[in-house]
Structure 1
Amino acid sequence: MLSGILRVLTSPDVVSLICRFQDGPTGDMLAFVSLPRRVRTPAHELAFLDETRHLQPAHDAVVTPWLARHGLSRLERLFIWSPCSKAIVVAHAAFHGRLDVLKHVHWIPTRSTDQPFDNATVLGALQGHVPVLEFLHSQGRLKYVAQASVAAASKGNLPVLDFIHQTVVTFNWNYAATLYVAAQHGQTTTLAWLLSVWVQDPVGTLFHALDVEFTCLRLAVRHGQHDTRRWLVKYMHGQGQGMLLPRVFAYEEHAVVDDIELKDVADAIWPVLQRVRRHYDMDNIARILDVLATGDDGGRRQVRAACFRILVRAVAFCRMDVLDWLVAQAIVDTTDLRDVLHLYAAVPCDRQHNRSTQAFLAHPRVQSWMGER
Structure 2
Amino acid sequence: MATALTTPDLLGIICQYQHGVPEDMLPFSALASTYDFPRGAKVVDALFLPWLRIYGFSRLPRLVDAVLGMQDCVLQYAAYFDHIDILQVFQTAAFLPGNLTTLAAGEGHVDVLKYLDKIGYIRTNELSPHHNAQRLSTAAMAAAKHGHLVVLQYLHMMYPMEIWMDNGGPAFSAVAHLEVLQWLMDIWGPTLTATEHDANLEGLLLAAVNQERLATTTWLAEKMQHSRQFSAILRVFASSTPSVPQTHLLVYLEEILDVPMNVLAIVIESNRVDKAALLFEKFKHMNRPEVVREGLALAIAFLHVQFMRWFIDKMDQRDVQVILTDHAISFRYGVEFEASFLEIIQLYEAKGAPLDDAIAHLEEIFGWNSDCRVCHDKILVAWLSDGDAALSGIPSTDLVRLNLLKWLVTHQGGRAIILGRLLPKFAGLANKSSKTCQRLYASWRSLMTSTSTIANNNITIHSVEESMLYQATAAGQEKVVSWLLQDVICGKNKTTIERALEAATSSRQHRLASMLRRALIRCDAE
Counterpart position of 2:59: 74
Describe how 1:310-329 pairs up with structure 2 within 5 A.
Answer: 310-318=292-300, 319-327=304-312
Distance 1:119 1:37 in 2: 17
1:28 aligns with 2:24: yes
Deviations 1:152-180 (A, max 9, x none): 11101111111112212273522233212
RMSD: 3.7
Q: 1:160 aligns with which of 141, 151, 155?
A: 151
The alignment-based identity, stated in percent, is 23
Distance 2:143 2:16 in 1: 47
* Distance apart, 1:19 and its partner CA: 6.2
Distance 2:197 2:286 in 1: 35
SS of 2:173's partner is helix
Paired residue type of 2:204: C
Q: 1:135 aligns with which of 115, 118, 124?
A: 115
Tell me if the contact between 1:249 and 1:272 (Cα under 8 Å) persists in the aligned partners.
no
Counterpart position of 1:309: 291
* Distance apart, 1:343 and its partner CA: 5.0
SS of 1:69's partner is helix
Distance 1:177 1:371 in 2: 48
Q: 2:321 aligns with which of 338, 347, 359?
A: 338
Paired residue type of 1:222: N
Tell me if the contact between 2:101 and 2:139 (Cα under 8 Å) persists in the aligned partners.
yes
Deviations 1:281-329 (A, max 9, x none): 2222222333345xxxxxxxx2542x531331222340432231244xx
Deviations 1:44-89 (A, max 9, x none): xxxxxxx524332222122211222222222233233346322222
**Cα 1:272–1:65 shift into 2, 3 Å:** farther
Describe how 1:178-327 pairs up with structure 2 within 5 A.
Answer: 178-182=171-175, 186-200=176-190, 202=191, 204=192, 208-254=196-242, 258-260=247-249, 261-264=252-255, 267=259, 270-274=262-266, 278=270, 281-293=272-284, 302=285, 304-305=287-288, 308-318=290-300, 319-327=304-312
Per mean C-alpha deviation after superposition, the further-off stretch among 120-129 and 137-146 is 137-146
Distance 1:93 1:206 in 2: 43
Q: Point out which structure has higher relative CO (alpha carbons under 8 A, 6+ apart).
A: 1
Aligned residues: 318
SS of 2:206's partner is helix
Counterpart position of 2:77: 92
Describe how 1:112-123 pairs up with structure 2 within 5 A.
Answer: 112=94, 115-123=95-103
**Cα 1:350–1:289 shift into 2, 3 Å:** closer
- Length-normalised TM-score, structure 1: 0.72
* Distance apart, 1:235 and its partner CA: 1.9
**Cα 1:160–1:21 shift into 2, 3 Å:** closer
Deviations 1:200-249 (A, max 9, x none): 3x4x5699333332222222222222222222211222233222111124
SS of 2:294's partner is helix
Tell me if the contact between 2:268 and 2:307 (Cα under 8 Å) persists in the aligned partners.
no
- Length-normalised TM-score, structure 2: 0.53
Q: 1:175 aligns with which of 168, 176, 201?
A: 168
Tell me if the contact between 1:222 and 1:252 (Cα under 8 Å) persists in the aligned partners.
yes
Distance 2:194 2:225 in 1: 23
**Cα 1:243–1:163 shift into 2, 3 Å:** same
**Cα 1:275–1:129 shift into 2, 3 Å:** closer
Distance 2:79 2:353 in 1: 74
* Distance apart, 1:189 and its partner CA: 1.8
Describe how 1:36-115 pairs up with structure 2 within 5 A.
Answer: 36-37=32-33, 51-82=36-67, 84-106=69-91, 109-110=92-93, 112=94, 115=95
Tell me if the contact between 2:143 and 2:152 (Cα under 8 Å) persists in the aligned partners.
yes
SS of 1:228's partner is helix
Distance 2:110 2:195 in 1: 27
Tell me if the contact between 1:249 and 1:268 (Cα under 8 Å) persists in the aligned partners.
no
Tell me if the contact between 2:32 and 2:70 (Cα under 8 Å) persists in the aligned partners.
no
Larger radius of gyration: 2
